[in-house]
Structure 1
């Protein structure tokens, strides 16, 4: 078995463990910082919306693509000095096509740009295809994307609630998903990649991936916490932390295996192809898979444990577990352990460990010193569970006939 497999087996058996839940303040702090940076980038720089969302004109022409094609076509389009042209987006599609995207233009300016592209690539102007996308259509696409995201989150909330019978699990999963979406969108804003329909597809895909990983962890939490209130061994946070340790190796393996091909697509789409749907989709997938794995390990389980620990039953369980641990630790050290009030007949009894006598119930006479154990030379009669003295049986030789 490999070293990683050995570690995973020991984590699953609970032989070694890392306190993920106990250090949740650190993970929450890291997530808050990432979300804050994402929001700053989103509001300061904004999203570079693609032509599908903001409207514009797209031109395509067949050409033998070279290393200078993008620069030459860009310069030719800018020389037209069309009104509100802005910075045209010129990309290549494969090795035999060039694509140019501009802001919405008038019909005269569209003809100028079309002719300039045809002259530069060596084709007739009527062989340069054009398509116009209005701003209203782009707004409809954006609204539908937001609606799809909202519907997805509502369905996720309902499905998790129905599966785990626990609304707090749904709340933790939704917060983790929103965390993933905000960071992914923030990366797009900071890098400046265009947001296209492929980006929307990628975001919805990584939400499903993140949710899948979170559900696996939550299912292990449910297995570890079944009937937990009937024992005094673990708190809910302890059982949740064990579940994270039992599934972390699996989460790391599946995440790395998923990131390798997505990272390759991202490199090819960015370096080789330059731009296009492949680049937009792969960036959303790469960032989302990485952030989704982080949230399913560090954020969602910690949120679930925090929500559950606020329940009265779990608080009572925590008090019992901590009292038991304190009692066991004190017994090992040979010190006195206070017992909860009402544990003995007189209440507030003290148990002496390390071979010392025990004090409980009423004393026959006051002790000369407060708190000192009382000793007596008189024999102590055995008492029943009701506290009544029991008769002493005489030896058979002394019994009367």
Structure 2
């Protein structure tokens, strides 16, 4: 089937490249200027997740912490206004944790419960280092896999697009100042996995179509890639939508501890679907088109 009447992704590739570069540049500027908003997993300190057992107000919560004498650096209220998250940049002692628990029960009743997470400076540094190593190993392994299964042009296009997806998630979290913790790292790694799956589906079809297509001009290459994208469009959309529905359910109905994980997944899945079509395939077009130009020049010289 000829898909000439459908949207031409190759023709509009510069628009896609421009949009991605703009987002990534803004994210990079924010990262350099302000860094990421590290959570307790990567920053030494103590965080408290307190279930008040009733609806609370920000004013009442602030007054309670002031009366206790241990005011956190960051306080947020979520859920049905019954969940209090408090972040301390210092490590609280057991006596301080008990003091907070006693003060909260005095203010909001005996149904108050709290969860405590404490990270020492050494553990925070170790977790940060291991997180970077994990992302690097995953990226290299995927690059090797694609190089073996396909040709090097596919591998280069895929790895650039995968890094694009990972950095889009990081950029959005940096710009919006969302908290970065271990579930965020897990979301980035799973984003890489889902992202390469979308690209493999399209590249498999491209490789199959290459066997039956004689590429003489840039237009032949462009038509072949556009046809490959549209032939796999339904499958890619169905796969992404199913996972997006699950991620949205986690974000809407899940507990506070996994909401940011679900949000990172939503961003990563959306970026992965976009980059598979609008970044990876056009990048392959640019790389392959150079080889076509070289062959054309070589044939002209022989003649």
TM-score in terms of structure 2 length: 0.84
Match of 2:268 in 1: 288
CA–CA distance in structure 2, aligned partners of residues 210 and 341 of structure 1? 42
How much is the aligned-residue C-alpha RMSD, in angstroms?
A: 3.4
Structure 1 Cα separation of the partners of residues 3 and 261 of structure 2: 39
Which residue number in structure 1 is paired with residue 14 of structure 2? 25
Alignment partner, residue 136 of structure 1: 122
- The 8 Å contact of residues 70 and 91 in structure 1, kept in 2 or not, is answered as no
1:268: how far off?
3.1
Tell whether 2:146 aligns with 1:160.
Answer: yes
Aligned 1:351-362 pairs, distance under 5 A:
none
Cα separation, partners in 2 of 1:29 and 1:67, compared to 1, 3 Å: same
Q: Which moved more, 1:25-34 or 1:260-269?
A: 260-269
Show the counterpart of 1:315: 293
SS state at 1:132 partner: strand
The secondary structure found in structure 2 opposite 1:154 is: helix
Distance 2:103 2:261 in 1: 31
3-state secondary structure, aligned to 1:54: coil
Query: What stretches of structure 2 of length at least 5 have no aligned partner?
Result: none
1:242 aligned to which of 227, 230, 253: 227
Deviations 1:350-384 (A, max 9, x none): xxxxxxxxxxxxxxxxxxxxxxxxxxxxxxxxxxx
Are the aligned partners of 1:88 and 1:102 in contact in 2 as well (CA < 8 Å)?
no
* Counterparts of residues 369-384 of structure 1 (less than 5 Å): none
What is the aligned partner in structure 2 of residue 56 from structure 1?
45
Aligned-pair distance for 1:32? 0.8
What CA deviation, in whole Å up to 9, does each residue of 1:158-209 have, x standing for no partner? 1001111x11211111100111111111111222221121111111112111
Q: Distance in 2 between matches of 1:99 and 1:233?
A: 56
Q: Is the 8 A contact 2:40 2:117 kept in 1?
A: no
Q: 2:241 aligns with which of 253, 256, 263?
A: 256
Cα displacement string for residues 135-159 of structure 1 (whole angstroms, at most 9, x for unaligned residues):
2211211111111000000100010
Q: Would you say how many aligned residue pairs link Structure 1 and Structure 2?
A: 302
1:67 aligned to which of 51, 55, 71: 55
The answer to whether residue 82 in structure 2 is matched with residue 104 in structure 1 is: no
Aligned-partner Cα distance in 1 for 2:249–2:293: 48
Matching residue of 1:39: 28
CA contact (8 A) 1:118 1:128 kept: no
Please report how far the alpha carbon of residue 110 of structure 1 lies from its aligned counterpart in structure 2 after TM superposition: 4.9
Deviations along 1:309-367, whole A, 9 cap, x unmatched? Answer: 222xx2256679xxxxxxxxxxxxxxxxxxx8998xxxxxxxxxxxxxxxxxxxxxxxx
Greater relative CO, 1 or 2 (CA 8 Å, sep 6+): 2
Q: For residues 129 and 211 of structure 1, what CA distance do their matches in structure 2 show? A: 37
Larger radius of gyration: 1
